[in-house]
Chains A and B, each alone.
Chain A
Amino acid sequence: MTPLLDIQHLRVSLPTPRGVVQAVRDVSLHIDRGEMLAIVGESGCGKSVTAQALMQLLPSTARIDCQRASRPSMAMIFQNPMATFNPTLSIGYQIAEPLRVHRAFNRHDAETETVRLLSRMGIENAQQRARQYPHQFSGGMLQRAAIAMALAMQPELLIADEPTTALDVSTQAEVMNLLAELRSEQQLALLFISHDLGLVSRHADRVAVMYAGEIVETASTHAVLQQPLHPYTRALIASLPSARSTRLQSIDGSPPDLLHPPVACAFCERCSQRMQICARQTPPLLARDTQAARCWLLHPLAPASGADT
């Protein structure tokens, strides 16, 4: 089966006043129909830029290279649902607009479909609600309305960029459950961008961990969380509190400056298992069973615990 989304060797550079930032450096992704892939990583690691490149939302000055790209129909929802909507137009008008413009619905059909979409997203009194303005909605309801607007064009893939970061925990669970329902009901594929590993562990099928513009590890969610291969993934998991933790582990140092990306392993300076080769040569994505990580430790000749220096 060919995957729904297939991107090979995506590179994005963005010109800034300080120079050219190589925000995404060789990212390959694939997502099947109905599948949920999570991209996790810290701010500035390139996860949002990857999504924006897929959606073609980057400024025209951005340089995007990609060796192969098969793209399905896509829609996107964002972190701040308040900024998604125009505050001067009713919610219903904004959801109906793409229906009228792109799907040639007449005013009456567009209204019926809007109300259907809103009530499918769990918004009560959808008919009255459609006439209200964004400021009359709570954050969670607004994010549901944003999902309704995204689904109006019947996309095969929905990109969700930190869709619940601005919401309360209990509202967050409701929005995540809604997305899970839509996946199983409509075979909707999801690209879920987050830094919340807890949320990812509960919902995603597969995880790609990004660091400094590269995917450093990718595998099934269970494998990544239970037996992480890359030292960065291990450090990220160790920084989360658990019932057993006596002291949280933090990662010393800071990520490299992508104006001048490192020539070798990007994590090498912060890595406790660093070997001589790590500072000299970029590791390829090395596989172990169904898991793969960009780390020299997985090389058959590497000592088991690294740190040969």
Chain B
Amino acid sequence: MNALLRIENLCKYFSQHGETVLALDNISLSIQPGEIVGLAGESGSGKSTLARCVAGLHSRDSGEMYFNDALLPARFRAQDFARQAQNIQMIFQDPLSSLNPRLTIGDILMEPLRLSARAKQIRLSPQQQQSLAQEWLIRMGLRASDMSRYPHSFSGGQLQRIGIARALINRPGLLICDEPISALDVSVQAQIVNLLKDLRDEFGLALLFIGHDLAMMRYLCDRIAVMYRGAIVEQGATQDILDHPQHGYTKKLVNSTPGIH
């Protein structure tokens, strides 16, 4: 089977105060359709930078990235984003700051529908938009009447589900999750993780899941890649990585996680 996303020898530099920092060091990683790949590592190891490169929010300096065997541009222009938005979407750690506080939930969910219709040059009536948005809201466990409410009146777990609805409403193949549960309570974390798993089973959605909770990643992920100082030091099937870590950093990470055995 062909990979959904294929990253080959990706490098990314940042310059800071005249110094050049290698933020991503020769990254190669691929994700199959319907696969959940975990990205673990400490803050500053480059997890989020990699996620942002995949989403097109950062340009890359060398290497190639393919989505469904089509080469993604090194630097995204406006029309590239419009195309990319159909394929790859992202959810973030702080669900409140990723939703526009001045839009109702209905507007937040209908905006991607409108943009996608424009990119594909098709017409989507306001009624069609409304009913699609409502359908997703209900699928996420919220109520149709929530369409007219504003983000501030929802709890963290509800906001994250709205973020997921917005990301998936155009049915992308890949969802990048940048620490989507770190800010949530444990019982709410369980709800979100169960939801992500169900969506994978229902739509064959692939996930790139960034986290630092190895116990949760053991439960959720098919494969795990461990990043350290901008490089992937180890990747493989979840069980192999967590039960028999080879790299010194992975060993340290596994040993410092309480209760994953």
Contacts and interface: CB of A to CB of B under 8 A. Distances in A.
A61 interface: no
Nearest to A44: B185
Given A169-B212, A245-B219, A201 B258 contact: yes
Given A168-B43, A241-B215, A247-B194, A42 B185 contact: yes
B36 interface: no
B62 interface: no
B191 interface: yes
B257 A241 contact: no
Interface of B: 42-43, 155, 185-191, 193-194, 212-216, 218-220, 252-253, 255-261
29 contacts: A168-B43, A169-B42, A169-B253, A169-B257, A170-B252, A170-B256, A171-B42, A172-B256, A173-B255, A195-B185, A196-B186, A196-B258, A197-B259, A198-B257, A199-B258, A202-B258, A202-B259, A236-B187, A239-B186, A239-B189, A240-B190, A241-B215, A242-B259, A243-B260, A245-B219, A248-B190, A248-B193, A248-B194, A250-B190
A42 to B, nearest CB: 4
A286 interface: no
Nearest to B259: A198
Interface of A: 42-43, 139, 168-173, 195-199, 201-202, 235-236, 239-243, 245, 247-251, 254
A249 B185 contact: no
Contacts of A249: 190
A225 B213 CA distance: 19
Interface of A: prevailing SS: loop
Main secondary structure of the interface of B (DSSP, over half): helix
Contacts of B216: 241
Contacts of B218: 241, 243
Contacts, number: 77
A204 to B, nearest CB: 11
Nearest to B194: A248
B253 A170 contact: yes
A269 to B, nearest CB: 14
A166 B15 CA distance: 27
B186 A240 contact: yes
Contact of A250 (B155, B188, B219, B259): B188
Contacts of A168: 42-43, 212
Nearest to A41: B185
B179 to A, nearest CB: 12
A240 B189 CA distance: 9
Contacts of B212: 168-169
B186 A236 contact: yes
